[in-house]
Structure formats: C-alpha cells, structure tokens
Amino acid sequence: MRAVDLFCGAGGMSLGFQRAGFDLVQAYDSWEPAVASYRRNIGSHVWLYDLRDVFTVGPMLAALRPDIIVGGPPCQDYSAAGRRIEGENAGMTRAFAMYLCIVRPSWFVMENVRQAQKSHAWADARQMIKAAGYGLTETVLDASWYGTPQSRKRLVIIGRLGERDGFLAAALAAARSKRQTVVGDVLDVPQGHFYMRPFGGGRGVRSAAEPAPAIIRTSRERPWSKYLNSPHPDDPIPAEEAAILTRDQVARIQGFPEGWEWGSATSRDIDQLIANALPSQLAEVVGRVILAREAGTTIPVVEGSFLQWLQRRGRSPQSARNVKSQCNRARRLLGGKTHTRIALEIEALEAIGDFQRLEVRTQSHLRTALRLHADFLLENAQRRGAPPMAITCRVA
C-alpha cells in the first residue's frame, strides 16, 4: 500500500509503517529540523512544506494517488502540557480532514493526544470526513501494550471508505500484547531505577521494571533542588540515587532505534522532536492491523450479545450459533469489509465468485445472517440514540 505521511516530524510514524510493510512515497512537514532528521534516517522523499496551504498541497497529494494517508496534526493546542486553547495548530486537524476529502485514499490514520477527541476542531474534521464516506474507528491506545516501554496514551483514528464505524476496534484490541513493555526490556539500567522529570506533580523516580511515563520535551532534565528537597512520597528510592537518562535513552523509550541521527538541530529542538513523535512500535502494530484487514485475513468480531438477541427473537441456542457462524463466513468472503448499508453489503457479497459457486440454500443463509446482524446493530444504535449511519461494532 502506498502511504503519505503528513506532519511527519522526525519520522516515528513513517518508521513504524515502513516496518509494517507500507511503501512511504512522500512525507511533509513545515519544520526544518524535522525534515532534516527524516531525510537522514527514513529517506529523501520528504518535503519541507507549509501544510496550511491546502490549495497547493492538495493537488500534489492527489497526483500521488496514495492508498493511505497517515499523520499527526500538531497537538500543542490540545495537550495537557500546553495551554489547551484551540488556535492555529488545532486548525491543522481541519486541514488534515480537507486533504482526505481532496485525495480520498482508501484508508487514513490520524493520531493525537486524547484531549483532541473532545475538541471543536475534531468535531468539524469528523463531520467533513464522515460526509466524504469514511467509516471511523476512534480509540485511545496505550503504547506500553503495543511494544513501547512508555505509558503513552494516544488517540488513534482509523478511517476506511465505505465502512461502518468501529470496524477495526476488535482487531486493535486483539493486537494488544499480553503484558506491558517496560523500560528494562529496551534499556540496561544498572541502578534498577531512573529519574524522569514529572509533569503535573507526578512521581519522578521509576523502576526499570515498569513503563516510563509519557515523554515530554523536558523528560531527561535532572531533578531540581526543589524536587530533591521535597520528593514525591511514592518514589521507591531517593532521586539522587536513580539513573539520569541520556537523550539517546529517552529516544529509545520513544521508539527511535539506536544510532538515529539528529544532525545539526539544537539540543532543545532534538528534545522536542523526540517528544512529538508517535512511538514507531505502536505505529507498526497499527499498520500491521490495517494490512491484515486490507488482505482480508481478519474480520470484525460478531458481538456475543448477538446470540442473545437472536434467541430473544425466537431462535434456539443452536440456531443462533448457526446464524453467527454464517455471519462470520459471509464476513470472510467479504474480506472483512463492512458497509454502511445492508443493501451494499449484500450486493458486494453476491459479486464474489466464491459466493456464486455456493449452493443456493447456503447463499440464502449467508444473506439472512448479514441482514439479521444489520438489524441487531441498528436496534442497538437506536437504543443509544445514535443515527443509523453511526452504527458501531463493539469489542466483544
């Protein structure tokens, strides 16, 4: 799949998507240190461009014909570490939506801080994206459960043309690891504990056997005298006995590999580039989940409550299980693709050669199963007061 990375920063998201198997054909950022870092480490396909210029960049993107657009619009206006006043940076979320409407790739991924989901900018962007025909999976993922030694919670929004909302939620949940990745998994910390400057009055000393807190620009600063004189009561050891992490170590926690070249950027700029990045391991997992669905090797989970719903409508337990099995079979034939309207779903199913070769009776069962599941989703949506087009597929 051909990918374009907008607001690419130093290249954390591109690195993850490359590892997953995407072809990064172009990347854009408006900050010279970010572009320089990207060019040194990812490739020469990066452009220094002001992404506010939608009327210039939009046609350029359309000419590339990407299968997917990924990106993380600036988050400073939303971030807990910022002023939380929506201004020009928040407007770039709307610009991201405009690029999607112009280019109409099959897929997109947008990541940001959790607070962005409640912003006016995302509300406007979401309205544009839905009008363009995208189904959305909106979720907050903790990077420590996706291969990153850091409790970094990010809003990840995945869209695909023609899908129902929530279409990839179960697959993302299934990709979660069985245990959190901790700092000791990627770094050797002889002291067993390290200090990381806390934000918002949190704990400063952490064990290497736990994930690091979310990386910010000042994470690697040494403890101030104020903190040494009044440490957090939950610190396991005194801060002066804990390791002070180097920039390279902080970058490793953020997902950059050893030997990453930062070039001639200032020390402050490098710290900001690291802090801004999406951990590459999280991006890689998200990319692999998308590729698996694109290839049709995964399908949406049919909710467990569907069985109870069928039985309330008069079916026996065995009949309900048969319907669920038939629904899953139809989903596999469809390559995991869902549709916003059942008529489109049946039409797509009937166009598949493997379906056409089935017995007429079996074809009828599969159509019926899909229709029943659509009725179930619609009834649930109406109970929640959601419009029919906002039907979601919940994780069972």
Backbone angles phi, psi at 366, to 5 degrees: -65, -40
- Give the CA count within 13 Å in the CB-facing half-sphere of 375: 10
Query: Quick check: 147 and 373 in contact, CB under 8 A?
Result: no
CA torsion angle 103 109 110 114 (round to 10): 160
Residues with Cβ within 8 Å of residue 93, at least 6 apart in sequence: 73, 110, 112, 116, 119, 121, 122, 124, 125
Residue 122, H or E segment: helix 120-131
Query: Quick check: 142 and 152 in contact, CB under 8 A?
Result: yes
Per the structure block, which two tokens stand in for 54?
Answer: 């939608």
Q: CA–CA separation, 255 vs 250, rounded Å?
A: 9
Q: CA–CA separation, 173 vs 144, rounded Å?
A: 13
Catalytic pick among 8, 75, 327, 393? 75
Using the 8-state DSSP alphabet, how is residue 176 labeled?
S
Per the structure block, which two tokens stand in for 152?
Answer: 């970094």
Integer angstrom CA distances of residue 393 from 4, 74, 386: 28, 29, 13
Q: Would residue 75 show up in a list of annotated catalytic residues for this protein?
A: yes
Catalytic residue annotation: 75
